[in-house]
Structure 1
Amino acid sequence: MTNPILAAGAVLWRRSAEVEIAVVHRPRYRDWTLPKGKLDEGESLYAAAVREVAEETGFRCALGRSLGHVSYAVDGVPKTVDYFAARVVDGEFTANDEVDRLRWLTLPAAAERLTYDHDRSVLAGFAETGPETATVLLVRHGHAGRRDRWPGPDDERPLSKTGRGEAKALAHLIPLFAPDRVHSAPKARCVQTVRRVAEQLNVDVRLEATLLESADRTDAVDRLREIVGDGGTAVVCSQGGVIPDLVSDLAKDSSVDVGEVRSRKGSLWLLSFAGDTMIGALYIRQA
């Protein structure tokens, strides 16, 4: 049996007088489409989306919210493409072997230019709330060994070798979303999980006592909403006894179906907001 094709892409956007979307022309297929491409071996959806945007358009981008996926067959082989909103950071288009033309178009014009209905459905999902959304990358700290084997105070229990590997992997993943600040519950294992990201951004880790398991649940939700209200993209690291309640409460308030709220160590939730309303939640578990 042939393995399904996995791919990732983006609705690449910029704001000029109004929001403009990049659509690309592929001479091989004689079509106009959204930038996308197959995952390399061992590559994540998120890294593939950023790489494919760069390769096809010449632009470096910052990922935003998940726009879901589309599935169709290519020569009888099933193919699934996961899409994300992606803001232009910098770059310049140069024609290449895959793409010979790029057009920046308004949302209505882009929908009219696109060749495929499945691309138009992705664009329609993007257009529902537009690009100006806030993002929270809600991280559970990495592995820190067994509590009963740590001789010191639990607040000071550090990441284990496995946890340090998870923190390193997060430091590769999280920058794809171009965060601008880092928050953490004041536990050593939480701070260590996101310290490398903070160093990459050249910012301090802001300590958040309301995100501890011992804190009040309502206070934790209120504080997260304050972080959302600051706009942009924030990294927030907390504990396994906090994250499921936070995600569940935000989802309930916003009528977003998140299914089973998982929170594996070293994983994160990509939470997207329009104003103070959560409009999307994607669980990202690293291998």
Structure 2
Amino acid sequence: MIRAAGAVLWRDGSVAVVHRPRYDDWSLPKGKVDAGETVPAAAVREVLEETGFHAVLGRYLCQVSYRAFGRPKVVEYFSAQAASGAFVPSEEVDELRWVPFAEAGSVVTRDEDRAVLEAFLAEPADLATVLLVRHAKAGKRDSWEGDDDLRPLSSAGWRQADGLRSMLPLWGPARVHSAPRVRCVETVQGVAEGLGAGVLLEPRLSEEGYWPDREAGLVRLLEIADGAGTPVVCSQGGVIPDVVSTLADLGGLSLSGTPCKKGSTWLLAFRRPEPGWSTSDSHTSWPSLVSAHYFPTALPTPTP
């Protein structure tokens, strides 16, 4: 199988579409995942190579499957906001157009790209996103003689944390939050260091802080989601599945499950409420979860 990644690159109400002279078609930027590369990293790299723009990833859109060169091909797409950059023609892409959202579907050549644009247009482009991370591996509880709150990451856990430090910045995070346990903080410490910031501790998102008052924990996550920029939030396996499933139920979002491996990430996207909402309002006044995508690992998977 050919694995590939791409994005709907947008700015100021317009989408970037590129002309590929080899196929004489208009397409969304995409390309194959390189060996040793994650799918999100491939999406950002391909956008830069084909459009000249650095991209900040947003929500996960969809997966498209078709046959190419006699082999099955799977392309995973994200929403991505254009940051700095400028288009330079190349042999691969000789023209770029910024097309208004509503007109982009009539410009692209392939039906698969039209399906991706439909998924993109189903929600506002500027949704609030949260990267909800389960802490990385920290050995076995029974093998740790000290206070369990102080149990650190194992060598395998540090490798997972390094993967998160590489992958999570693709969403341009603005701040890092964590349950107070050492293994949670260590999992996202590298991301915070990359921002030149500290880790903000969130007692209500630890297992012992969440379950005595679930609603307060959920409200705290929604408050974080409604803040400025994209937050990274690290929590525990006893919290994350309940948070994701409950928010999905409140938002009317159907999920097939809520897996939560150590070192995994849920990419959550929320539609913001109208200005003036408060935590004392009904649930319909909170940010509403409209998209949830699970990354079982931040480490690259083998590519054929």
TM-score range, shorter chain: over 0.9
Does structure 1 residue 225 correspond to structure 2 residue 215?
Answer: no
Aligned twin of 1:274 = 271
User: 159, 168, 174: which is aligned to 2:162?
Assistant: 168
Corresponding residue for 1:263? Answer: 260
Helix, strand or coil: the match of 1:94? coil
Are 2:182 and 1:188 equivalent residues in the alignment? yes
Runs of 4+ displaced beyond 6 Å: none
Instruction: Find the aligned partners of 2:214 and 2:235 in 1 and give their Cα distance.
Output: 13
Correspondence for 1:82: 76
Q: Deviations over 1:224-260 (max 9, x none)?
A: 1111111421100001100010001001111112212
Structure 2, gaps ≥5 residues long:
273-286, 300-304
1:246 to 234, 243, 249: 243
Name the count of aligned residue pairs: 281
Q: What fraction of aligned residue pairs are identical, expressed as a percent?
A: 52
Distance (whole Å) between structure 2 residues aligned to residue 82 and residue 146 of structure 1: 35
Aligned-residue CA RMSD in angstroms?
1.1
Aligned counterparts of 2:175 and 2:16: Cα–Cα separation in 1: 28
User: What is the alpha-carbon distance in structure 1 between the residues aligned to residue 187 and residue 69 of structure 2?
Assistant: 44
1:22-42, CA deviations, whole angstroms, 9 ceiling, x for partnerless residues? 000000100001000011123
1:15-30 matches, within 5 Å, as: 15=12, 19-30=13-24
Residue 37 of structure 2 corresponds to residue 12 of structure 1 = no
Measured in 1, the distance between the counterparts of 2:69 and 2:140 equals 51
Q: Secondary structure at the match of 1:96?
A: coil
Distance 1:198 1:92 in 2: 29
User: In the aligned structure 1, how far is the partner of 2:74 from the partner of 2:83?
Assistant: 26
Q: Tell me which amino acid in the other structure corresponds to 2:294.
A: Y
Matches within 5 A, 1:69-218: 69-215=63-209, 216-218=213-215
In structure 2, the residue corresponding to 1:119 is in which secondary structure?
helix
Partners of 1:62 and 1:277 lie apart in 2 by 22
Partner Cα separation in structure 2 for residue 251 and residue 262 of structure 1: 14
Unaligned 5+ runs, structure 1 = none
Q: Summarize deviations over 1:148-173 as a string: whole Å, max 9, x none.
A: 22222111111111111111110011
TM-score (norm 2): 0.90
Say which SS state the counterpart of residue 122 (structure 2) adopts: helix
1:34-62 deviation digits (Å, cap 9, x = unpaired): 00001112321111100100110111111
Q: What is the Cα deviation at residue 274 of structure 1?
A: 1.0
Asked if residue 283 in structure 1 is aligned to residue 294 in structure 2, the reply is yes
TM-score, normalized by length of structure 1?
0.95
Q: Within 2, Cα distance between the matches of 1:167 and 1:184?
A: 14
